[in-house]
Amino acid sequence: MHERAVVNGKLVRAYTYMAMVGIVIPLFFALIMSAKLVWPDFWAVSWLQFARLRVFHTNGVIYGWLGLSFMAILHYIVPKMSGRPLLSERLSWVTLFLWILALTVGLGAELAGKIQAVEYAEFPWYADILFALAFVLAGINMLGTIFRSGEKQLYVSAWYFILGFAFTTLNFVMANTISAYAAPGAAGAAITGLWIHNAVGLFITPLGVGIVYYMLPIILKKPIYSHLLSLIGFWTLAFFYPLGGSHHYFFSPIPWWVQILAVPLTAVLFVVVVTVVYNWVMTLKGSWHQVPKSVALMFIVTGIIAYMTTCTQGPFQAFLSVQKVIHFTDWVVAHAHLALLGAFTYFNLGSLIYIWPRVTGRAFYKPSLNWWGYWLITFGFYVFYFAPLTILGVVQGALWQSLTPFAEVIRVSLPMWFMRHLGGWFIYAGLLMIAFNLWKTARAGRPLETPTDEADLHALHAARHA
């Protein structure tokens, strides 16, 4: 079976390009936004107001970049994993069109000051409908392909994809109906907490983790370490992850029993991440020497470290004594970026870099640009973004607790916010290099003579039967 028979390279490329647009624009606005924290009257026009930029950035990155890049990668993985072409390639094009339409309408409305007051679901209702439609169509296409698979066994990635699509469809509808229009006050907060938590936990996490479960064995050309650990990791995620949502509103008027329950239900997530990451690391065992040679692996492995870190932070943050200090501070901002940038953006960039020569049939225009991209993003993020904001979060929390005037807290924050802005430029530069490289490769890369996926496919089969 040849991969060209099942993967539609055109679709993967189209989704990838749109995903790159979906990160290049929101990150440009993020740069302006981070500048505005330091120079609040910089470029002071209504449609670039800080909060409008913030929702453009978060929604753009979640639905535009992560959403579309997941789809790009799934358009490669799912047919190959299922051993058959997509359910309908025409449907894929329609989905892509709808998805972009939803983004354009939703993000445009946000800049025009029509923000729906549910965090991460700020699209107004008409864009919600468009997006839900696009997401359901994508789900039908992907799950339909998996369900009609000719393969004998369902690979672990497929479990995650099915879970993610089914759960997130319902979750998205819940957020945009019940949270936005029906549930009052504390009850609304409990439900919004579920939405926020599960948008990360059961949309981004299962798709991202499923992708890594596929990419690691393929790139390393060896099977996953343990089927049992995969099972434990999956089912604990599916069961426990959706229950801890109210930890986003600790010490709020939400009934106290819900908040108390959220502490152990969040702590148990440590088990999830340890099983999953242990499984990956043991798969990597004996192959670590390969990592520095492949930029795709570098991205994915760095992402795994970030994933481990951010998911360890999570249960730790859910301890009430820690919450007292770090809640509402920049610590949480750093934590969220460690997850969405440090882990999942890295997974997706690594995967796209691995896939790209295989769907264009060309070698990278300049492999060094990928390396530059990797180091710029990593340096910019960890040195100028993650470390300063994490420290700043603790400082802010401690200062507030000691009843320091608000002005002092802002004054202490400003140098760190300036560093964040600088970090943004590094990240942006790195990203532009990779985006440029992808585009240029498809147009002017050296054509490859032999398809390189043959061996990978064998590796996957080996993985399945392990």
Window 157-176: residues binding other proteins (CB under 8 A): 158-159, 162-167, 170-171, 174
Q: Which is nearer to other proteins, 23 or 190 (CB)?
A: 190
227 is a site residue for other proteins (CB under 8 A): no
114 is a site residue for other proteins (CB under 8 A): yes
Q: Which is nearer to other proteins, 124 or 361 (CB)?
A: 124
Q: Hey, which residues between 313 and 342 contact other proteins (CB under 8 A)?
A: 324-325, 327-329, 332-333
Sign of CA dihedral 424, 55, 330, 262: negative
Q: Hey, which residues between 238 and 297 contact other proteins (CB under 8 A)?
A: 238-239, 242-243, 245-246, 248-255, 257-258, 261-262
What is residue 83's DSSP assignment?
A: T
Q: Which of 1, 5, 10, 113 binds other proteins (CB under 8 A)?
A: 113
The two three-digit tokens of residue 294, written as one number: 């492949």
Q: Which residue, among 168, 13, 161, has the nearest Cα to 93 in the 3D structure? A: 13
Residue 13 amino acid letter: R
Q: Are 195 and 128 in contact (CB under 8 A)?
A: no
Q: In whole angstroms, give the CA distance from residue 449 to residue 48.
A: 48
Task: Tell me the window of 152-160, 276-284, 288-296, 353-361 that interacts with other proteins (CB under 8 A).
Answer: 152-160
Q: In whole angstroms, give the CA distance from residue 219 to residue 294.
A: 9
Q: Hey, which residues between 92 and 111 contact other proteins (CB under 8 A)?
A: none
Q: Which is nearer to other proteins, 178 or 457 (CB)?
A: 178
106 CB burial (10 A radius; 0-12, 13-18, 19+): buried
185 is a site residue for other proteins (CB under 8 A): yes
- Tell the smallest beta-carbon distance from residue 60 to other proteins (Å): 14
Location of structure tokens 């492995």: 301
Location of structure tokens 């919004």: 192
At 223, give phi and psi (nearest 5°).
-75, 165
- Tell the smallest beta-carbon distance from residue 343 to other proteins (Å): 20
Q: Which is nearer to other proteins, 324 or 458 (CB)?
A: 324
DSSP assignment of 239-283: HHGGG-GGGGGTTSSS-HHHHHHHHHHHHTHHHHHHHHHHHHHHH
Q: Which residues pair with 447 in a beta bridge?
A: 362
- Tell the smallest beta-carbon distance from residue 419 to other proteins (Å): 15
Cα three-residue angle 210-212-214, rounded to 5 degrees: 75
Q: Which is nearer to other proteins, 17 or 400 (CB)?
A: 400
Q: Hey, which residues between 416 and 445 contact other proteins (CB under 8 A)?
A: none
- Tell the smallest beta-carbon distance from residue 241 to other proteins (Å): 8
Q: Which of 98, 190, 343, 359 binds other proteins (CB under 8 A)?
A: 190
Q: In whole angstroms, give the CA distance from residue 57 to residue 208.
A: 20
Q: Which of 198, 279, 283, 313 binds other proteins (CB under 8 A)?
A: 198
CA distances from 409 to 25, 218, 221, 390 (A): 31, 49, 51, 15
Q: How many binding residues for other proteins (CB under 8 A)?
A: 94
Q: Hey, which residues between 376 and 415 contact other proteins (CB under 8 A)?
A: 397, 400-407, 410-411
191 is a site residue for other proteins (CB under 8 A): yes
Binding letters toward other proteins, positions 17-46, x by CB under 8 A? -------------------xxx-xx--x-x
Helix axes 406-444, 9-38, angle to 10 degrees: 150
